[in-house]
Structure 1
């Protein structure tokens, strides 16, 4: 970019420098106005500056650009720090960092090395930038500058108690075209690569460079392949360059995307290209209107495909008006009901990481002041989970264990598992698996050919996704798997970084681990990760709280009955309140291991009486699945429960079950009909349940075995309900059962409806009963039910 170019941000330079020493500042300016490159240089006149950029690509690119503009090499007065890569020195006056780096430095020394903190592109409302701003506002130790292209400036200025500056700059005109037959059609992922290809092929010759926005790396890869086939002649002639642009592109791809070229460029980008990055030469935008972002669904953070907000749509459109008039082609309706702005991440995600990060910096998350109030339910869930990990104490303050977890650049749960391992070898295994699962997508896909699947099984014979990932990081890649080399390199870098932080051997000399011992340690440290297979729906597993379905690429065996689920991917399912949770990394474990570690609840099953005596089935049930059972003589409460079951099944005291059931049914009906009279009834006016009453009688008599029961008869268990002198008349008026020739019916009374239902229980009679055959039931409507057929009896 030439030095003589005028940037709109330059109109506020004098006001910025004058106000910066006295106030926090909110700067509102369009992307491409120069705010990301000029403000840090101006602020450096008043001390050392930390610039927080939400994306790694922008962080490195801006640092390189500013250093070049100052005629310096990177890491002199301008540098950057991202994961795996630090390019700055103690003499660097301006350091560009990602939010994760800024939070870590804040926890270490409160950012004492810097005077001004600039948080760029704040409108993206990431949880880490929201948290960083809240803590710096609380500390009041730095001058704060918050910048954005689309922002509610008044609300933010009031929140900071600062001043607002606006840089107005004129972009070139951008003409909008909506390629959709229905003006209200929302963005649609179906056949997206075909739509993008057709749009590019139809319009690219009329423009300089083309920028197409797609929701993710998968769609970019598909479009890249499709376009290369469609435009192969131009590519071979060297007149056309098709370039991916996302958070993990190579340095070469990033340079080709961000720097002008003699070739015409077609850049396929995620929303990383919406802000911060200025891509010269673009005059055509193709906007699919889609992005992948997280959101809360039933208390879980779900990564899903979403339509972008109106603010994002305008941001994307504006990328075409930097050098001349441009065109924005939207693959959705002009009147599509998009959200006004993208909701902040703190409202869309679980708060475990923000809460731990906040505590590591000496703040309680629920006591910080945010622009928007945090959801109370999410705060409670996060606190409960972190306290269960022993990362936070009862007062919500960080523990020594929490201080160990926080610096590890991985998910809090994985950090907890690493530190919970009992030996070095298991700890290393957990480090390697955590590194592999911290990538934005899978390292490998299941081979399609049967031959390669067999080779994969020989290479890793346990059908264990977790062990396979660890082997991939530690050794050569087998021929049966196609691996993304860049992803594997990143996973290995992350593993070595964590190993170094924990003083563990490097990946090259990793310790041999025992799979069974390692998984047993995980099971003990995080029992919520243990799932058992449904007996009928074999694709589903549960842990008593949620259900997961087998992911398409999981190697989980059909013979396995339980697993530790290390990684899940939740997507919206059918219905408003459902999730489809896919288990994407599973490690089979035997049911016996669950029983050994006391998973599940004891339940009493069937009772059997034989010549050898009485035996009861004792079952251990976890998540609705019996994981262990055995037969033993009844003891304690189970003995009484078994005796009750045997009486009601007619195995003990013949005839008592039928008599008790009839007596108690009639008593409850007697009460419901209002026939109870205090002066004639000997028991309280309370409904009775057969099992509870019989259990109470056995306890009162001290009966605890079948041998004890032999001392009693059915007469010893008479139920004193309806007064004896009144019982016969009541039974005639409201019979419990009606027996006709070849037909026996149980009688149901629906008192509120004044309805009697005679339910067929036995008998070979084919004709329905007639009204004259039945009791009078004066004033009641009568129905007859047989199977699913219900008729009125007249």
Structure 2
């Protein structure tokens, strides 16, 4: 794949391709904006002479990166570059670079389709979702001759410890970065990030910053609801183009929005979830306004749910760095300077209920003692494993030895979580349709719209 523009990652191409020819896994650390997400996939396919599976943590990144690279090549999505996400397949018979979500990658492992790829490149590994932890453990199983080469890359990896754990080759790439001035707007009381009056505080920060700031503005928000409320709060401000960035935005629209702004066009205010922390670079951003909030999966009442909470320091630094990709920038943090955050974001597998993990692992052939002895980079907590096994035995999904049963295989085939799958697996007579509708609402996390007058 020919690079149409010189990017910082180009300096590391020789060492990267040399590492690919070696026998070990490869770890790549490169700053955000260096070009790793757009250049490494094509180099990998060319160097290894076969298709590469690129695992992105979010659907929006899969779609947008595939569209962007296809446009660079002057091709349609599905030719050399394509993507597959839940309910949408844009891969073709000649596709050499396939962007997929972790769930799709696990389906390929379960079906054996993963063996058709010369390499699996896991981008933004630092996000450490449970699906990524499981995928890496599965790809590291011993005795898998001819298995795809494993490549992990990120902007914020703890490279030394990860390289040692994997016995991997390390490739470090430099990037362009500029100083970012950080200020806080949250008083001195030690108050942390909060959703209280968030849209009001965001609008005030945007308006106060416009006179003394050039370039576009990137606002980090925890979800689509907060994005919409902030959009309404700024809707009457003239001279601004408000650009939502989240998983529901069509990929072509996102790629167009990420293109360089034309001279004389209105300044952009990107209202984004944490998808804008990585993978996708916004070249015109000079100011970041950070709510300090994100939705993360956590334990609650025996289930894994999306909870709203403060991000860790590593994410704060990642977000601030978005203002300094191409020129000096500013970051406004909407919390007190004296607030002390967690240093790093814990891997998801350490903070959720593990029913889905055990069920998905078993469907990929990793159950019973094989699960306990797997090559985990972040081992699941034993107490959480025991509790999940007890629940899954209770519904007949696992036997006494932790092996998957026929009922477990039925649940594993359903494209829903284990708890929702139990609702669908054996519904009371006459309620199957109602429960299917309810599970659909739970999975999409959308509100229930009743008919007028109901």
For the criterion TM > 0.5, the same-fold answer is yes
The number of residue pairs the alignment matches comes to 440
Is the CA contact 2:60–2:251 (under 8 Å) kept in the aligned structure 1?
A: no
Residue 441 (structure 1) aligned with residue 446 (structure 2): yes
Matched, 1:25 2:22: no
Structure 1's unaligned 5+ residue stretches are 445-476, 482-794
Q: How does 1:96-495 map to 2 (within 5 A)?
A: 96-109=99-112, 111-139=114-142, 140=144, 141-182=147-188, 184-205=190-211, 206-229=213-236, 231=237, 234=238, 239-251=239-251, 254-261=254-261, 262-296=265-299, 300-364=303-367, 365-421=371-427, 426-444=431-449, 478-480=451-453
- Cα distance in 1, alignment partners of residues 417 and 441 from structure 2: 12
Within 1, Cα distance between the matches of 2:252 and 2:82? 19
The alpha carbon displacement at 1:303 in A equals: 3.3
Contact 2:297–2:352 at 8 Å: present in 1 too?
yes
Report how far residue 299 of structure 1 moved.
5.2
Spell out the pairing of 1:42-53 with structure 2 (5 A cutoff). Answer: 42-45=43-46, 46=48, 47-53=50-56
Q: Which residue of 2 aligns with 1:582?
A: none
Cα drift, residue 404 of structure 1: 2.0
Task: Specify whether residues 113 and 4 from structure 1 end up closer, same or farther in structure 2 by C-alpha distance, changes over 3 A only.
Answer: closer
1:259: how far off? 2.6
Q: How does 1:61-76 map to 2 (within 5 A)?
A: 61-76=64-79
Q: Taking structure 1 as the reference length, what is the TM-score of the superposition?
A: 0.53
1:11 paired with 2:11, answer yes
- Which is bigger in relative contact order (C-alpha 8 A, separation at least 6)? 2
After superposition, the C-alpha distances for 1:725-747 in whole angstroms (9 at most, x for unaligned) are xxxxxxxxxxxxxxxxxxxxxxx
Deviation for aligned residue 1:422: 7.0
Contact 1:21 1:143 (8 Å CA) reproduced: no
Q: CA deviation at 1:32?
A: 1.1
Q: Is this contact kept in 1: 2:121–2:153, CA < 8 A?
A: yes
Match in the other structure for 1:705: none
Instruction: Report the CA distance between 1:480 and its aligned residue.
Output: 4.3
- 1:37 aligned partner: 38
User: Do the aligned partners of residues 158 and 194 (structure 1) sit closer, same or farther apart at CA in structure 2, a change above 3 Å counting?
Assistant: same
RMSD: 2.1
Q: What TM-score, normalized by structure 2, do the two folds share?
A: 0.92
Describe the superposition over 1:626-675 as per-residue Cα deviations: whole angstroms up to 9, x where unpaired: xxxxxxxxxxxxxxxxxxxxxxxxxxxxxxxxxxxxxxxxxxxxxxxxxx
**Contact persistence 2:33–2:175 (CA under 8 A):** no
Question: Could you give the per-residue CA deviations for residues 493-514 of structure 1, whole angstroms, max 9, x where no partner exists?
Answer: xxxxxxxxxxxxxxxxxxxxxx
Please report how far the alpha carbon of residue 3 of structure 1 lies from its aligned counterpart in structure 2 after TM superposition. 5.8
Kept after mapping to 1: 8 A contact 2:29/2:159: yes
Q: Distance in 2 between matches of 1:267 and 1:68?
A: 22
- Give the SS at the match of 2:109: helix
**Aligned pairs for 1:643-662 within 5 A:** none
Q: Name 1:651's counterpart in structure 2.
A: none
Q: Is the 8 A contact 2:56 2:101 kept in 1?
A: yes
The 3-state SS of whatever aligns with 1:430 is: helix
1:88 matched residue in structure 2: 91
User: How do 1:640-789 and structure 2 match up within 5 A?
Assistant: none
Q: Distance in 1 between matches of 2:37 and 2:269?
A: 25
1:167-189 CA-to-partner distances (Å, cap 9, x unmatched) read: 11121222212223317432222
Once the two structures are TM-superposed, the CA of residue 388 in structure 1 deviates from its matched residue by 1.6
Instruction: Tell me the equivalent position of 2:58.
Output: 55
CA 97–349 in structure 1, closer or farther in 2 if over 3 Å, else same: same
* Closer/same/farther in 2, CA of residues 107 and 431 from structure 1, 3 Å limit: same
Tell me, yes or no, if the aligned pair for 1:179 and 1:329 is still in contact at 8 Å.
yes
Alignment partners' CA distance in 1, 2:394 and 2:323 = 50
* Cα contact 1:350–1:382 (8 A) shared by 2: yes
8 A contact 1:26–1:162 mirrored in 2: yes
Conserved 8 A contact 2:9-2:35: yes
1:298, CA displacement in angstroms? 6.8
- Tell me if structure 2 keeps the 8 A contact 1:257–1:267: no
Question: 1:249 Cα shift?
Answer: 2.7
Structure 2: segments with no counterpart, 5+ residues: none
How many Å apart are 1:263 and its aligned residue? Answer: 2.8
Deviation at 1:297, TM superposition (A): 5.1
Alignment deviations for residues 99-133 of structure 1 (CA, whole Å, 9 cap, x no partner): 01111111111511111000110101100001100
Partner of residue 700, structure 1 = none
1:302–1:251 distance in 2 versus 1, CA, 3 Å: closer
Whether the 8 Å CA contact 1:25–1:146 is kept in 2: the answer is yes
Partner of 1:484: none
Q: Is the 8 A contact 1:212 1:285 kept in 2?
A: yes
Distance, in Å, in 1 between the alignment partners of 2:295 and 2:31 is 23
Tell me if the contact between 2:176 and 2:325 (Cα under 8 Å) persists in the aligned partners.
no
In structure 2, C-alpha distance between the alignment counterparts of 1:117 and 1:251, rounded to whole Å? 23
Whole-angstrom CA distance in 1 between matches of 2:198 and 2:360: 38
SS at match of 2:115: coil
Cα distance in 2 for residues equivalent to 1:35 and 1:335: 35
* Partner deviation per Cα, 1:72-108 (whole Å, 9 max, x = no partner): 2110011000112110112211100000111111111
Deviations 1:499-533 (A, max 9, x none): xxxxxxxxxxxxxxxxxxxxxxxxxxxxxxxxxxx
Shift of 1:278: 1.0
Deviation at 1:440, TM superposition (A): 2.6
1:64 deviates by 1.1
How many angstroms apart in 2 are the aligned matches of 1:368 and 1:151? 22
1:243–1:253: 8 Å Cα contact kept in structure 2? Answer: no
Deviations for 1:391-434, whole angstroms, at most 9, x for unmatched residues?
Answer: 222221222222222132112122233232477x6444432321
Structure (1 or 2) with the larger CA radius of gyration: 1
Quick one: distance in 1 between partners of 2:301 and 2:341?
A: 23
